[in-house]
Amino acid sequence: MKMDPRCTYCLLSRVHYESMLSTKDEELIRKALVSCMDVMKEKYIPGVAAGHVSTAVHRKAYEVLNDPDPYYELKQVSNRAASRVFPIAKSLIYEGKPNVKEAFRKAILAAVIGNFFDFGIMGLEVGEDNFEATFTKAFEKGLEVDDTDRMFDLISNTVYVADNCGEIILDTLVFDIIRKQGGKVTLVIRGEPMLTDVTMEDVKALGIEEHVDRIITTGCNAVGVSFEEAPDELLEAFDNASLIISKGMANYETLSERTLRPIAYLLRTKCDAVAEDMELEKDCSVAKLFME
């Protein structure tokens, strides 16, 4: 996905948000914002990929703030909220003893709803206090884009590119179904902290290792996946996958720049720019498969 003009003020808004998480020093916050404006001015050229700009901007913010993980506390908040809703999600998935394809569809829905939970995105109001109610309501509504039947037929060697803390707990519901059907799951996580994204430290703390066959990282703290910095084992995993599942908008912004196939994007279209790039409406729950 290419950088959209609307991404500029959303990105700077997020820099301001993470700066306030990191420090109360108003001069340092100002310095972070101004430095990031300079980076954006340099990197935002016609046709540039959105992930290239956002990675450079956030890295500069972290550098100026001298803070490698401004979202650390909020990641714990996300994990607590998702842990509370997990038994509700599992109950809804297996209610009425569905067949395996239906259970898979419901698990994918639960994982997509997990993507609602985020911090620092303009206009997004889903937080710890109202996530359980939001989850139940969204589950009843279902997926606006539902390619789960076709996805299910491709799960033998799944590469699952994770997104945020919190939602990774709900992702395990998908992992477990894939593995019970004899499929293998390779989980891809961030190499270093970036926003609220899952890292190896988070995976180990949550016991996610028990739910997958292999864990590899993106090799760095890029927003989404930086193919220029990705380790060979990640590129090989993409090449050999029977299905790539990509969680969240940041991964969509970067992975959509390549012709990886087959790939399914699981996300909530939280902004107009991503929604329009996917030819969808804003605020849709999406499980969209691309085969060609």
Give the pLDDT score at 122: 40
**Residues 6 or more apart in contact with residue 241 via CB below 8 angstroms:** 157, 158, 159, 186
Give the pLDDT score at 128: 57
Report pLDDT digits (tens) over 18-32. 999 999 999 999 999
Per domain, the residue ranges of the chain are 5-65, 72-290
Give the pLDDT score at 129: 62
Q: Kindly give the interhelix angle for 100-114 and 72-94, rounded to the nearest 10 degrees.
A: 160
Report pLDDT digits (tens) over 99-149. 999 999 999 999 999 988 765 444 444 455 677 888 899 999 999 999 999
**Spatial separation of the C-alpha atoms in residues 271 and 276, rounded to whole Å:** 9
Amino acid in the structure at residue 62 = Y
CATH fourth-level superfamily of 72-290: Uncharacterised protein PF01937, DUF89, domain 3 (3.40.50.10880)
What is the residue-wise DSSP string for 87-131?
A: HHHHHHHHTT---HHHHHHHHHHHHHHHTT--SS-TT----GGGH
**Spatial separation of the C-alpha atoms in residues 217 and 51, rounded to whole Å:** 17
Instruction: Classify domain 5-65 by CATH number.
Output: 1.10.8.380
Task: Count each helix (H run) and each strand (E run) in the chain, helices first.
Answer: 12, 7
Give the pLDDT score at 217: 98
